[in-house]
Chains A and B, each alone.
Chain A
């Protein structure tokens, strides 16, 4: 009896241990490996710099700390841009020293201009490119400022700095490539799979009962950030060398197609929601019966598909659905009761049209996804050659200018203090001030980030004090030196792996490694150290204050700017002469919103408002583009003018939203619709064109009439509006 009990508990213990071990391997082991890698790379960089007798091993170590990330490809990408940024910064500081070495005011003014320019650049570009601008900005402080005091040493300061940076980059790249490399490719595959299954979950969840709910808005916000995150990974994976060029092209195609398909889905959902609340229930039921077909196709054994092989089957099924959809629509149309009026019939037509567009796009998206699992076929290569999608840069120029001014101001404040108070730690303060005010310019909430950074800086100062004055004086030899610096590096790199404490970790890293007390020999002086540490804190606080004063990312002002920019996008889509492409509209609109926020929180009401505005911009914009495409097919001048008038009215409405303009726009659309429905006109147009024009116009009309739409939120006379609509 006793024996059996003990065996049972023993086997249970073993299975528990095994479970714990598996958890540990999955969650904690990668973190531990990462921390070890950071430590090894730092020590390698330190050893190499000491071996080469370079002046400041700390620069090499700091470089390692900055570029180290868990994914190998990201390390390569960041290293490349760090090198580029540093070289540009050094060259510019050589130029400035050559021009203005004797005149410190002129020197500082031109430096402020350069830093303003770089801060603005870091706002315009994304991720690693943005980081290159930050570096080009603050390298000028590190190289240029000491050079003002000793101009004859500028060249050697610059060369030493670049050598140290290169040593740091090489150590970081080697360690992360050789020891337990973590490839981006695997991460990418996982992300794409998850995104597809999330999206099909969303499709499967839509039903006639749940149509009014808000769930898809959160998904939309996640989609925005996902698209840009994937783009970063894609760009970085290029440096890893094991993914082919075709694979990466297919990834960016996938991204572009995903944006389109998600917008189409949203439009479809909105249309169904509107009809559900105001339209004929029979129409809604008919449309849902069509949607049900799609739902059956995308479910495999009552779940979403999870990999590329299943996607290939799905693509075939969608192709079948696509070819048979028109017949099914005709069948459902015949079954509609005769009592429906013209407008209700149009409701059905536009719904069916949107559904058809959605199925088309979903088919394209699914087949691209499926093709990721296989080798490139010739046909796919051709498709790629015809379709080079790119995520361009779209930004609010006023916000970028203000960011530049903010960067220049923080330099000016520090420099004035340095000159007028004859401050010994002035250079130190300027350097740290510029680092913080350029580094966090593009972060979603700089105020909060800088607060965390200050906390990290204080911790870092404490660590560096203990290390410099308690431990280092007793250390002899490289081993002891390594032991002395290791604890702080381990703690800081552990903090950087926790998403909530990342900035604290990098604060510790920057302050600790900038002040660590040895060059080629021990060189720490308590008085200088205390002065510099205080100067650091002061400078960080100053840049924090400037972030709070010129707040470009989390204030109501910036949200209003973005909403306005989004409305301008609709206006330009309506009026510009250039041929419009849906993918261009998608990337422009999403890029504007992406700058607002990292996309992790949708809790706050104002954020939601911006997302609503984004979705409605995309919805209307896509419809307008489709309308303009069809307009080119029309020969009849009267119809053409009528539609051009509609576009102009819509543009007016979006330039200055008011009930007056809204009524004008809707009236104009009503006229166009009745003109198109005229038998005389209908015979002259190709049937397909007439059908497309009608459905798109009707869709826009419904969107403009929608009581829940964003335009009504910005409508000054929201109350009188209700009456106005009924009056029409």
Chain B
């Protein structure tokens, strides 16, 4: 994967795109969890959300580098 990609002729780090994608993914997952009522099994919601986000972002980041 290239480390920078051209977005409308402006060079943007691919990591930024990965960041955006993981934000979207974690929102979707958040919605799903809230909808299925899975959050009642989790002690600290925001910490869990952050952890999931970091996992996703790291996986995507490792795929780039």
Contact = CB atoms under 8 A, between A and B. Distances in A.
B34 A178 contact: no
B50 A178 contact: yes
A211 B39 CA distance: 52
B50 A174 contact: yes
B1 interface: no
A178 B10 contact: no
B37 to A, nearest CB: 11
Contacts of A178: 46-47, 50
A178 B48 CA distance: 10
Q: Which residue, B45, B46, B47, has most C-beta atoms of chain A within 10 A?
A: B46
A178 B50 CA distance: 9
Contacts of B10: 155, 159
A245 to B, nearest CB: 10
Majority secondary structure, B binding face: helix
Interface string A71-96: 00000000000000000000000000
Chain B contact-residue range equals under 10
B13 to A, nearest CB: 10
Contact of B30 (A155, A177, A241): A241
B34 A241 contact: yes
Contacts of A241: 30, 34, 45
A299 to B, nearest CB: 38
A30 interface: no
Interface of A is mostly: helix
Interface string B32-65: 0010000100000111001000000000000000
Contacts of B30: 241
A242 interface: yes
A174 B49 CA distance: 11
Contacts of B34: 241-242
Nearest to B47: A178
Interface string A212-250: 000000000000000000000000000001100000000
A242 B50 contact: no
A716 interface: no
Nearest to B27: A241
A239 to B, nearest CB: 11
- Give the top 5 A-B pairs by smallest Cβ distance, nearest first: A177-B46, A178-B46, A178-B47, A181-B46, A241-B30
Given A174-B50, A178-B50, A242-B34, 9 more contacts: A155-B10, A177-B46, A177-B50, A178-B46, A178-B47, A181-B46, A241-B34, A242-B39, A242-B45
15 contacts: A155-B10, A159-B10, A174-B50, A177-B46, A177-B50, A178-B46, A178-B47, A178-B50, A181-B46, A241-B30, A241-B34, A241-B45, A242-B34, A242-B39, A242-B45
Interface of A: 155, 159, 174, 177-178, 181, 241-242
